[in-house]
A and B are shown apart, each in its own frame.
Chain A
């Protein structure tokens, strides 16, 4: 479970997130939508502390994952990131073999047991619906796969370390429609086991895959409710304008 309380976030002097409070239930798909620069990606990246990599950022408020404020000094960032996996906008496999890409998270976790690694790689590739396509060429470079396959490989790579939460930052925006629909099907299956938070530009996609949707604008969480309600009967006029395409 993820919960934030009164999050304010600054890039230097720029106030990127304004008093955002949200509650995300386990085994649901939550989508964040909103115009470019509204803070939805920034918000997503708070949950695995990817924003720590940027210089000159400042955060106030609480971000609680499984009962712990992850910005406490006692929290180890690398442990947190094993629990909270992430898939990025562009497929970013390592310049390694398909097998080594998936095994990477285990290797940096000091897993030595070869049988376990092999089993975990297979399970993860199956979970990511990629096993059938790559089982005969695990030793081949990941760069030989198509863009859609690469993105599913990145999902498998994230699943291999057994996270409980999966963050997806516009995972299909660089893909063709067929690959996109495969990813969306995958999200449906994965939510049985994982809590998924997805940022998307594509409102139809949000409507298709998510249980709940949050609409961001200018750093504020304007509206957050069940996806159906949000798209059929939004409460706020800004949401209404955005989803009917009047701006953004």
Chain B
């Protein structure tokens, strides 16, 4: 019997470790992937001295944001971006041979004749033997462009942009304001329930609040979408109601039951002797609450806050439904933001398995895992702190 329990315990731990390994293995594969689409190469005229380009430069060139080679360290000449498909508007299909066997030759001629071209080609048709054509060396996606990049365009061609910074900031932004709203409110309700409400009121309110924790998040999201979003839009006269504010409000509502329940338990656990000692010295009820009970319960209250944050950071569905999901750096509460969990939920279904997009979503999962792990570890440390510290 004992062996059975030991077995189930070790199987569970093993499964968790395997999941984490899988997550990181898939995610870190991104940094071994090429910066441009798989099976493609970039080619230039042999006279062009330019070296390897980074994925942001490639994207900007094909978006016509960089128009001169001098901007990326080349000679002073206009960049002519060339996408492989354009060949079909220059040559008729019949001129390229039955099996496109003439295609590499034609591409080679084109690149040889145009010294300022940057051509994006499938590797199998690349004119590698042509002496006038140079295939650019390709880099892998760098961690710096991943963590520091501010553009999230995982399906852009030729070079997808995996800048997760706006997503990390979006997650932290929405969670931060959620806690800013939920903390004073939750603490207030916890104080009311543990110190001020009479027994009948408490017996009525506590189960009601605990019931809130059991509502599925998609229902919160639905409520947010139907009630909160239009309300915010009208009240603040915004172009759209799907904003960071809506996400923070929904998350605050969702984090409240956790914060209230744990903080209230912590305050009720303050020994009767502490209250009596304070009151017997002539302190009023309020003085006793903020000078003795709240400090005494502070580690429990901190644990409540951290668990509330944990809930807010990992929440997916409700946030996905109300924040508008624009992957831009958050600048105010009244604009759309996109969070990490929402990105994973929204995009994983469309990402081809094993591709860079797919890997990048796994890496986002790793980041989320690390953030929530930090949160849980700090909750653990804080709640184990002896109560007489820091007073």
Q: Which residues of A contact B (CB under 8 A)?
A: 48, 50, 53, 55, 78-82, 85-86, 88, 90, 92-97, 100, 104-105, 107-109, 141-143, 154, 157-158, 161
Contacts and interface: CB of A to CB of B under 8 A. Distances in A.
Contacts of B284: 78, 108
Given A108-B282, A154-B277, 19 more contacts: A50-B276, A53-B279, A81-B279, A82-B281, A85-B281, A90-B273, A92-B273, A93-B277, A94-B278, A94-B391, A95-B295, A95-B296, A97-B391, A104-B291, A105-B281, A108-B281, A108-B284, A108-B287, A158-B280
Closest 3 CB pairs of A and B: A82-B282, A92-B273, A105-B281
A156 B257 CA distance: 42
Q: Which of B274, B278, B282 has the most CB of A within 10 A?
A: B282
A142 B283 CA distance: 19
A88 B388 contact: no
A161 B388 contact: no
Contacts of B282: 78-82, 105, 108-109, 161
Contact of A95 (B279, B283, B391): B391
A81 B279 CA distance: 8
Contacts of A142: 388
Contact of B276 (A85, A92, A109, A161): A92
8 contacts: A50-B279, A85-B281, A88-B280, A96-B391, A100-B391, A104-B278, A105-B283, A157-B277
Contacts of B296: 94-95
Interface in B375-391: 387-388, 391
A94 B290 CA distance: 13
Contacts of B292: 94
A108 B280 contact: no
- Most-contacted residue by chain B among A79, A105, A157, A161 (CB, 10 A): A105
Q: For this complex, into which size category does the number of interface residues on chain B fall?
A: 20 to 34
Interface of B: 199, 271, 273-284, 287, 291-292, 295-296, 387-388, 391
Residue of B280, B295, B296 most packed against chain A (CB within 10 A): B280
A158 B280 CA distance: 8
Contacts of A53: 275-276, 279
B276 A108 contact: no
A121 to B, nearest CB: 14
A108 B271 CA distance: 20
Contacts of A80: 282
Contacts of B277: 88, 92-94, 154, 157
Contacts of A90: 273
A85 B280 CA distance: 6
